[in-house]
Structure 1
Amino acid sequence: KQATTTRFCFQKPASIFNNGKANLSFTLQRPIPARLVLSCSVKQETVEKVLEIVKKQLSLAEDQKVTAGTKFTELGLIADSLDTVEIVMGLEEEFGITMAEERAKEIATVQHAAELIEELIQQKTA
C-alpha cells in the first residue's frame, strides 16, 4: 500500500508545543478549509477550571450541560457583555495571567479559552 502525503499551507506562523518544547513549526499561507479543524491539546484540568468559572460567573444550574465545545454565544453571551468581562477577570485571577482585550474578544468556546490560557501561561513561564 502506498503512503499518502498531506500538505497544509496556512496564513500565519504557528508552532506546536509539547510540555513547553516546540515540536513543529510551520507557516500558514492560505485559509484553513472549513471542514478542517486544528485544535491544541490542553490539560483536562484547565478545561474543567474554565467550565467551573463560566458556570459560576453565569450562575448556571449544576445540571446545565456546558462542555469544552460549548460556544459562549450558546450561553447568551455577546462580546461586549458584562458577563464576558467578569468571566475573563475570573480566568485571569484563577490562572494568574493577563489577557489582552483583543485576544479575549476572539474566544468563542470553552476549549478556545483553555487553549489561550495555556498559551499565556507558557509565555509567562518562558
Structure 2
Amino acid sequence: MAAPVAAYSPALRVQVKAAMDATSSFRVLASLSFPGQRASFPSIRMQKRSQVSCSLAKQETVEKVSEIVKNQLALPEDTGVTGETKFVDIGADSLDTVEIVMGLEEAFQISVDESSAQEIQTVEDAAALIDKLIAEKDA
C-alpha cells in the first residue's frame, strides 16, 4: 500500500513582511522554508525594493490640466477628462502631446525638460510633474 503524498513532501511555509521606510520605498521581505529539512537545504530569502507611486497632484492642477488638454485637442466640452485619462485614449499622438506640454508650460509658467515630457502618459502624470516643478521653482 502506498503512503500518502504528504508523507514525502514537507509543508511549505511562506512568510511575507512589507514595510514603508523613510524614503517612501516599499520593501517586501519574503522567506520560504521547508520544515523538516536538514541544514543542507537552507531557507530562501529575497528582498525587493520598489517605489510606491501615490497621487501627488493637487485637484485644482488636475482640473486645469484637463481643461488645457481638452482645448489643445479640440475635444467637445462634455468629454470626460480625469486624472486617469491617458492621452492616447483621447486621440493624442506624439505631436499632440508636445503641443499639450507646450500649452502647460505657458499656462503654468514652467519649463518641462524633454525626458520628463516623454514620461507623461496621463493627465495625473502631467499634473504631478507641474506641481513638482512649481514647488521647486518656489523653493
**TM-score relative to the length of structure 2:** 0.65
Task: State the number of aligned residues.
Answer: 102
Match of 2:99 in 1: 86
SS of residue in 1 equivalent to 2:107: helix
* Whole-angstrom distance in 2 between the partners of 1:77 and 1:59: 11
**Runs of 5+ consecutive residues of structure 2 not aligned to the other structure:** 1-16, 27-47
1:37-76 residue pairs with structure 2 within 5 A?
Answer: 38-76=53-91
Match of 1:119 in 2: 132
**Runs of 5+ consecutive residues of structure 1 not aligned to the other structure:** 10-23
- Maintained 8 Å contact 2:25/2:50: no
1:85 to partner: Cα distance: 1.2
Query: Which structure carries more relative contact order (alpha carbon 8 Å, separation 6+)?
Result: 1
- Maintained 8 Å contact 2:73/2:92: no
- Overall identity of the aligned pairs, in %: 53
Match of 1:25 in 2: 23
1:50 to partner: Cα distance: 0.1
Residue type of the alignment partner of 1:76: G
Residue type of the alignment partner of 1:77: A
- Maintained 8 Å contact 2:84/2:122: yes
Equivalent of 1:109 in 122, 125, 139: 122
> Which structure has the greater CA radius of gyration?
2
CA RMSD of aligned residues (A): 2.2
* Whole-angstrom distance in 1 between the partners of 2:77 and 2:125: 22
SS of residue in 1 equivalent to 2:18: coil
1:31 to partner: Cα distance: 3.6
Residue type of the alignment partner of 2:98: V
More strand by share: 2
1:84 to partner: Cα distance: 1.0
Deviations 1:62-118 (A, max 9, x none): 11111110011101223xx22111100110011110000110110111011100000
- Maintained 8 Å contact 2:73/2:96: yes
Deviations 1:15-51 (A, max 9, x none): xxxxxxxxx534576345xxxx621332211111100
